[in-house]
């Protein structure tokens, strides 16, 4: 699950975050090996977000089989992986300004594509399912944060509270 606190919905913390250990526990050894193989931040973020998208696709298959609980677990894993991805980008040393900027762009592009799948999943989940609601809110929020950091200014206001 996402390592978060009450702060992530309107307090001082900019977004939910996940540790390397939490993400590593969610990934298979093969997935983690593929992530570790990429030393460049853009390629690493791209790989993490592809794995996250796989979790959404798995959730979609589970929902089709009426396995809502297992699908919710996959969606929660997705949220943790994308949260970690943004935390990873933010942790890049300041001397890698261009690489960080490119990683923010990659994050924005990939998560924007994944929002369509999340919205489709929301329609397939039972109404009011908190896991999908939180995943959609978090993905939209993190994407805006990445877009603002890519541009170097707050061009879009980051929503502080889940509607």
The 10s digit of each residue's pLDDT in 4-58 is: 332 233 333 345 667 888 888 889 889 999 988 988 889 999 999 999 999 999 9
Domain span at residue 136? 18-151
DSSP conformational letter for 126: P
Residue 8 belongs to a domain: no
The 10s digit of each residue's pLDDT in 90-144 is: 888 888 788 889 999 999 999 999 999 999 999 998 888 888 888 999 898 999 8
Residue 33 belongs to a domain: yes
Number of domains in the chain: 1
Half-sphere CA count of 36, side-chain side, radius 13 A: 10
pLDDT for 12: 33
Q: What is the pTM of this model?
A: 0.84
pLDDT for 78: 95
pLDDT for 61: 94
CATH label of the domain that carries residue 142? 1.20.58
Residue 26 belongs to a domain: yes
Q: Is 4 left (phi over 0), alpha (psi -120 to 50) or beta?
A: beta
pLDDT tier, 163 (very low <50, low <70, confident <90, very high otherwise): low
């Amino acid at each position: 699950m996402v390592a978060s606190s009450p702060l992530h919905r309107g307090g001082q913390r900019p977004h939910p975050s996940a540790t390397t250990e939490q993400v590593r526990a969610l990934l298979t050894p093969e997935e983690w090996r593929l992530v570790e193989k990429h030393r460049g931040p853009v390629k690493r973020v791209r790989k993490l977000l592809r794995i996250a998208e796989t979790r959404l696709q798995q959730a979609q298959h589970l929902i089709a089989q009426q396995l809502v609980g297992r699908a919710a677990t996959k969606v929660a894993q997705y949220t943790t992986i994308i949260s970690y991805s943004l935390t990873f980008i933010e942790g890049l040393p300041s001397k890698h300004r261009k690489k960080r900027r490119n990683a923010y762009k990659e994050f924005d592009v990939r998560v924007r594509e994944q929002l369509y799948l999340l919205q489709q999943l929301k329609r397939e989940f039972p109404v009011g399912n908190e896991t999908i609601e939180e995943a959609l809110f978090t993905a939209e929020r993190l994407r805006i944060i990445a877009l603002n950091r890519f541009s170097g200014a707050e061009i879009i206001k980051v929503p502080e509270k889940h509607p």
